[in-house]
Amino acid sequence: MKRRNIFLTFGVLFVMLGLTLILAIAIGAVAIPPGVTLQVLLSRIGLGDISGVSGSTVDIIWRLRLPRVILGMLVGASLSLAGATFQGLLRNPLADPFTIGVSSGAAVGATIAILLRQLGVLFFPHMLPAFAFVGAFLAMFFIYNLAKIGGQVPVVTLLLAGVVVSSFLSAIISLIMVFSGQNMQGIFFWLSGGLMMRSWTEVWFVLPYLLVGFLVLFFYARELNILLMGEEAALHLGVRVEFTKKLLLVIASLVTAAAVSVSGMIGFVGLIVPHAVRIVSGPDHRVLLPASALVGAIFLVWADVFARTAVAPQEIPVGIITAFVGAPFFIYLLRKKKKDIRL
């Protein structure tokens, strides 16, 4: 992509992100004009006056909708960034945080936390994100060592290990739900994925992981580009292949774990967004990574807007919305790649 087109693309994406922020806050059970939304947001940085705006409107914007919208952006950006990294690293468009098994590990951790909390066995602040985070990290550690052969991690064995461990972890979740009795509903809603009842606490929790993860992954964008040519070619060009693979797997897994720990299982974002962006921007990860993060942020916020307004006042878990969009896209990719699959 030419430099002029890159600047134009990112300019359009940032404008779309800003419009998404204002419009998504304005839409809801209590309709708020976009102009009032913008006025309240600007007042927080000393650029506006809200003397004519009611206190309840300010509270709705600042305490309810703004943290939810920003969290949706952070989660969407995190999952898309991780998905773009996994797809580039494994050279497989079907790879995403769910395929690798990281999300399933986080789900097991969160399920255990919900059960322990509702049974009154254990409770402490941020217990659910902490358990989800540990679950994701342990899953990635186990999958990585399971896939390792002779000190190296072949792509095929990593994908197979991810699928096998994900199936096993899903069975553990089902078993926990069977024994959870009346607590099953809480576990079900968390597994469905959503941003309901989230606050600034979750925003501040996930933000550092996304920022640090993005900087590290973007720093290694050139190595990701070279790895697309194959590991042997990358070795000849001076890339420390195994070190780079380990580092990027860990960083992408941590970014995913942080996102899943605050939002639950929101699937397919890390699959469809990087693939769609790659069609427009090409495979250069110096463009693909930041563009995927921006598009993922916009996509998940609008999916959440649809989830909370489609059958209002009832709210649909946003993970169900992304699954309805992502599953057909996954089938499309699978059919497109079937010539490359060898049994």
**Where does the pLDDT of residue 249 fall: very low under 50, low under 70, confident under 90, or very high at 90 and above?**
confident
What pLDDT score does 191 carry? 77
Residue 151 tokens read as 């000190």
d(CA 322, CA 242): 33
Predicted confidence (pLDDT) at residue 341 exceeds the cutoff of 50: no
Q: What is the mean pLDDT of residues 154-174?
A: 81
What pLDDT score does 85 carry? 92
pLDDT, tens digit (0-9, with 9 covering 90-100), for 57-111: 888 888 889 999 999 999 999 999 999 998 888 777 777 777 778 888 888 888 8
d(CA 88, CA 160): 17
β-strand partners of 149? 152
> Which letter does DSSP use for residue 229 in this model?
T
Q: How many CB atoms lie within 10 A of CB 331?
A: 10
β-strand partners of 152? 149
Which of 329, 260, 302, 259 has its CA nearest to residue 106? 260
What pLDDT score does 340 carry? 54
Q: Is 138 in contact with 105 (CB distance < 8 Å)?
A: yes
Q: What percent of the chain has pLDDT over 90?
A: 23
Predicted confidence (pLDDT) at residue 339 exceeds the cutoff of 60: no
Lowest mean pLDDT among 17-21, 294-298, 304-308, 310-314: 310-314
Q: Distances in Å between the alpha carbon of 4 and those of 148, 280, 324?
A: 43, 14, 36
Torsions phi, psi for 195 (to 5 deg): -120, 15
Predicted confidence (pLDDT) at residue 235 exceeds the cutoff of 80: yes
Q: Please, what CATH class does the domain formed by 3-341 belong to?
A: mainly alpha
pLDDT, tens digit (0-9, with 9 covering 90-100), for 265-305: 888 888 889 988 988 888 899 999 999 999 999 999 999 99
Q: Is 255 in contact with 213 (CB distance < 8 Å)?
A: yes
Exposure of 58 by Cβ count < 10 A (0-12 exposed, 13-18 middle, 19+ buried)? middle
Mean pLDDT, the chain, whole residue set: 84
pLDDT, tens digit (0-9, with 9 covering 90-100), for 184-218: 777 777 777 788 878 888 899 889 989 999 999 99
Torsions phi, psi for 289 (to 5 deg): -65, -55
Between 68 and 170, the higher pLDDT residue? 68
d(CA 75, CA 105): 17
CA 27, 33, 38, 43 dihedral sign is: negative
Helix axes 241-263, 200-219, angle to 10 degrees: 160
Predicted confidence (pLDDT) at residue 321 exceeds the cutoff of 80: yes
Q: What is the mean pLDDT of residues 36-53?
A: 80
What pLDDT score does 343 carry? 41
